Amino acid sequence: MGFNIGSVDPLFLACFAIVALPALAFGTIMIFTWRRDNLSLGISLTCSTIPLILAWWLFFTVKGATLAEPIILQVNWMVSDAVVVPFGFHLDPVSLLMLVIVATISWLIQIYSIGYMEGDPGFARYYADLSLFGMAMLSLVSASGMVQLFISWELVGLASYLLIGFWYEKFSASEAGKKAFVVTRFGDIGFYMGLVFLLYFMKDISLFGLGIADINNIGLTQKLTEAQITLCALLIFCGVAGKSAQFPIHVWLPDAMEGPTPVSALLHSATMVAAGVYLMTRLFPFFAASATAMAVVLAISTITLILSSTIGMVARDIKQVWAYSTISQLGFMAMGLAAAGLAHGTLFAGYYHLTTHAAFKALLFLCAGVFIHHFGTNDFFVMSKDGGRKLMIPMVTVTIAALALAGIFPFSGFFSKELVLAQLWHLDNKLWVGLGLFGAFLTAYYTFRVIFVLLFPRPDDHPAWQTYYVREEVAGHGHGAHGHEEEEAHGSHGHGGHGDHHGVPWVMAFPLIVLAGFTLVLGFMQTRIEKFLLGESHPHELNYLLLVLAVGCALGGIGMAWLDWGRARANWSGFLSKFPMLENFFIQKWYMDHFWRWFLNTVIYGTFSRIFTYNDRRVVDGGVDAVALGTIGSGRLLSFIQTAFLQLNLLFMVLVLAGVGIYLLMGR
Residues lying near another protein in the complex (CB under 8 A): 1, 76-83, 85, 147, 150-152, 154-155, 158, 161, 165, 168-169, 171, 173-175, 178, 181-182, 185-186, 188-189, 192-193, 196-197, 199-200, 604-605, 608-610, 612-613, 616, 620-621, 624, 628, 636, 638-647, 650-651, 654
What is the rounded distance in angstroms from the CA atom of residue 527 to the CA atom of residue 462?
49
What is the rounded distance in angstroms from the CA atom of residue 624 to the CA atom of residue 569?
77
HEC string for 523-553: HHHHHHHHHHHHCCCCCCCCCHHHHHHHHHH
One-letter amino acid of 622: G
Q: Based on CB atoms, which residue is closest to another protein, 173 or 337?
A: 173
Shortest Å, Cβ 155 to another protein: 6
Q: Dmax of the chain from CA atoms?
A: 125
Shortest Å, Cβ 200 to another protein: 6
Contacts of residue 362, Cβ cutoff 8 Å, sequence gap at least 6: 105, 108, 109, 265, 266, 268, 269, 270, 511, 515
Shortest Å, Cβ 331 to another protein: 24
Shortest Å, Cβ 106 to another protein: 19
Q: Based on CB atoms, which residue is closest to another protein, 176 or 305?
A: 176
Q: Based on CB atoms, which residue is closest to another protein, 151 or 515?
A: 151
Q: Based on CB atoms, which residue is closest to another protein, 188 or 583?
A: 188
User: Which residue in 630, 591, 650 sits closest to 307, CA to CA?
Assistant: 591
Contact 136, 159 (CB under 8 A): yes
Using only the alpha carbons of the chain, give its radius of gyration: 31
What is the rounded distance in angstroms from the CA atom of residue 593 to the CA atom of residue 658?
84
Shortest Å, Cβ 616 to another protein: 5
Residue 15 CB coordination number (10 Å): 28
One-letter amino acid of 394: P
Q: Based on CB atoms, which residue is closest to another protein, 69 or 616?
A: 616
Q: Based on CB atoms, which residue is closest to another protein, 77 or 532?
A: 77
Q: Based on CB atoms, which residue is closest to another protein, 100 or 202?
A: 202
Q: Based on CB atoms, which residue is closest to another protein, 227 or 604?
A: 604
At residue 440, φ and ψ (nearest 5 deg) are -60, -40
Shortest Å, Cβ 117 to another protein: 18
β-strand partners of 86? 76
Q: Based on CB atoms, which residue is closest to another protein, 579 or 614?
A: 614
Name the 3-class secondary structure at 505.
Answer: coil
Q: Based on CB atoms, which residue is closest to another protein, 30 or 555?
A: 30
Shortest Å, Cβ 522 to another protein: 33
β-strand partners of 87? 75
At residue 206, φ and ψ (nearest 5 deg) are -65, -15
Residues in the chain: 668
User: Which residue in 321, 298, 296 sits closest to 310, CA to CA?
Assistant: 321
From the centroid of its chain, how far is CA 504?
Answer: 29
Shortest Å, Cβ 55 to another protein: 22
Contact 557, 440 (CB under 8 A): yes
User: Which residue in 270, 441, 452, 456 sits closest to 365, CA to CA?
Assistant: 270
Contact 436, 420 (CB under 8 A): yes
Residue 470 CB coordination number (10 Å): 11
Shortest Å, Cβ 3 to another protein: 13
Shortest Å, Cβ 8 to another protein: 17
User: Which residue in 128, 97, 98, 100 sits closest to 113, CA to CA?
Assistant: 128
Output the CA torsion sign for 329, 517, 282, 261. negative
Shortest Å, Cβ 156 to another protein: 10
Q: Based on CB atoms, which residue is closest to another protein, 87 or 446?
A: 87
Shortest Å, Cβ 655 to another protein: 10
User: Which residue in 439, 361, 356 sits closest to 398, CA to CA?
Assistant: 361
Q: Based on CB atoms, which residue is closest to another protein, 154 or 255?
A: 154
Q: Based on CB atoms, which residue is closest to another protein, 20 or 45?
A: 20
Output the CA torsion sign for 184, 187, 188, 191. negative
Q: Based on CB atoms, which residue is closest to another protein, 127 or 322?
A: 127
Name the 3-class secondary structure at 477.
Answer: coil
What is the rounded distance in angstroms from the CA atom of residue 345 to the CA atom of residue 651?
102
Q: Based on CB atoms, which residue is closest to another protein, 575 or 599?
A: 599
Shortest Å, Cβ 60 to another protein: 31
Cα separations (Å) of 202 from 215, 216, 240, 362?
10, 13, 22, 40
248 prior amide bond cis, ω within 30: yes
Alpha helices (H) in 244-344, listed in sequence order: 252-255, 261-269, 272-282, 284-288, 291-312, 318-342
Shortest Å, Cβ 231 to another protein: 12
Contact 214, 84 (CB under 8 A): no
Shortest Å, Cβ 626 to another protein: 13
